[in-house]
Structure 1
């Protein structure tokens, strides 16, 4: 066993022990540190549809599978998952047991902090990269400096009085570590003025706030200062799906949330998220979630 492998394993083992203390009960757990949460599962899970936001995930134990568009990612122990643009995803835990639970942590990143860190760093301090890479979700083996820094952030939970003074400093170090890692290119593209990813990020932000409105591809392309064909190509490269598919997933996930949490019927929820045809809504809902709206919501309520 190499020294680097042994050190990485030690860091992960320390994180497993510490996260296990904070996530003794199965489920998702928000920590007292803003943006930091933990996930524990004692058995494989069904597919979950959600939005991944700008953030760093670490799989500490077990395995999960993430699907974005038509691309499937396998996330194993010791892998870091970096999301740079809000993405509708389907994910599920594929490896977990009572003896060896699935354990992971998520740290949401602050875009303003990323911008500030990049502005402070000299270009010479950062690895060079090509502008041809546009992925918004990447999976890599977490390096030793990154896992060590994350461990120090998690340990801070044991010192609540120090959190206001040290948490942001450690988060800033995590951003610096990421920028100097193989995943740093994806963060830098997000904040580079005029980059493809920055333009698509602006469109994604607009869609999240206006998904119920009818959209024309030409209008979105104009907002991104691209031709329609170039816009469609870059949007798919960055998000893994077309703009219409992206809008559809936002609409359907919001409708599901409204029916589950506000007890709205399918017709009312469909209308609120922008559907004019109830039958079209039902077809597309069933295609995404595997069941009709009524059956899906009934099943989810029975399982809660």
Structure 2
């Protein structure tokens, strides 16, 4: 990392720290922009990660998608082009040097608009299909994020200036070495764009039975092609993706809404409680009752 990048990272870290005092997560008034702060490493946590661009000013984080692990830090960004059910863990954080990060949700329509306005060329490729990647941070991207967060101090400027800076950030992502992955997914008519539509359909219907043949037909694809491209982008089959969404939502219901195991399993689409318990244990490493107990103890300990 150059001296310029180190200096910009320090400025970004101070900006994030200013707005996250005493809080783990801050949803800012700027649409799609959130800030995070943790003063100790975390246990692996499952959640659905929005299509987003994530920067770390201080610390390190691992994101597991399927069997693949993506690690990023103050020198790298992570972007996800679609919403993914992931298992994530902050691996480097302390009270003296807390983990500080910023996340900006991606807008596929704005990304496509930028490609047209900037006349960014696109050639369909069979390479780099994965919808998640780690890239190297540049001073230009760091500077744009600093200016975006600084708008929180002048809220009257947000409506006019935030969209311009966000547009700049998306442009810099598109022209980065990792931009090819993004272009293949946001460009209308591409296979990647059809997989995004399929993912969106599954997200909104995850508690319902999934017929892959019907969904492939809806997307105008053969079943074999649909399966292959879905796995290329998400590292999962459509049914595995649906199962991950179901189990992640069930865990949220059990942990944050105090649902009993039976009602949570029914709500996310399981008809068999024993099947739910087996798949939950396989996915999270412990049966529902034991997992929630461990999570509760972990949360209590972290607040002491």
Matched, 1:139 2:170: no
Partner in structure 2 of residue 198 of structure 1:
193
Partner in structure 1 of residue 149 of structure 2:
154
Partner in structure 2 of residue 214 of structure 1:
209
Matched, 1:255 2:250: yes
Partner in structure 2 of residue 267 of structure 1:
262
Following superposition, the deviation at residue 289 of structure 1 comes to: 1.8
Following superposition, the deviation at residue 133 of structure 1 comes to: 2.0
Following superposition, the deviation at residue 59 of structure 1 comes to: 1.3
Following superposition, the deviation at residue 129 of structure 1 comes to: 7.0
Give the one of 170, 174, 178 matched to 2:173.
Answer: 178
Runs of 4+ deviating beyond 3 Å: 126-131, 298-302
After TM superposition, the score normalised by the length of structure 1 is 0.93
Give the one of 256, 267, 276 matched to 2:271.
Answer: 276
Going from structure 1 to structure 2, the CA distance change for 1:101 and 1:261 (only over 3 Å counts) comes to closer
Give the one of 100, 105, 114 matched to 1:103.
Answer: 100
Following superposition, the deviation at residue 260 of structure 1 comes to: 2.7
- For the residue of structure 2 that corresponds to 1:49, the secondary structure is strand
Matched, 1:233 2:228: yes
Give the one of 2, 6, 9 matched to 1:5.
Answer: 2
- For the residue of structure 2 that corresponds to 1:237, the secondary structure is helix
Following superposition, the deviation at residue 186 of structure 1 comes to: 2.3
Deviation track 1:60-87 (CA, whole Å, cap 9, x = no partner) reads: 1111111000101111222111111011
Matched, 1:62 2:63: no
After TM superposition, the score normalised by the length of structure 2 is 0.93
CA distance in 2, matches of 1:20, 1:171: 21
Deviation track 1:204-256 (CA, whole Å, cap 9, x = no partner) reads: 00100111111222222222322222221111110011111100011111112
- For the residue of structure 2 that corresponds to 1:288, the secondary structure is helix
Deviation track 1:181-224 (CA, whole Å, cap 9, x = no partner) reads: 11222221122122121111011001001111112222222223
How many positions carry a matched residue from both structures?
Answer: 299
Matched, 1:288 2:286: no
CA distance in 2, matches of 1:116, 1:77: 29
Matched, 1:48 2:26: no
Following superposition, the deviation at residue 277 of structure 1 comes to: 0.9
Partner in structure 2 of residue 31 of structure 1:
28
- For the residue of structure 2 that corresponds to 1:193, the secondary structure is coil
Deviates more, 1:253-262 or 1:69-78: 253-262
CA distance in 2, matches of 1:19, 1:81: 17
- For the residue of structure 2 that corresponds to 1:174, the secondary structure is helix
**Consecutive unaligned residues in structure 1, runs of 5 or more:** none
Deviates more, 1:286-295 or 1:53-62: 286-295
Deviates more, 1:225-234 or 1:37-46: 225-234
Give the one of 62, 69, 84 matched to 1:87.
Answer: 84
CA distance in 2, matches of 1:197, 1:128: 13
Going from structure 1 to structure 2, the CA distance change for 1:143 and 1:70 (only over 3 Å counts) comes to same
Deviates more, 1:269-278 or 1:221-230: 221-230
CA contact (8 A) 1:134 1:196 kept: no
CA distance in 2, matches of 1:219, 1:129: 26
Matched, 1:112 2:94: no
Following superposition, the deviation at residue 140 of structure 1 comes to: 0.9
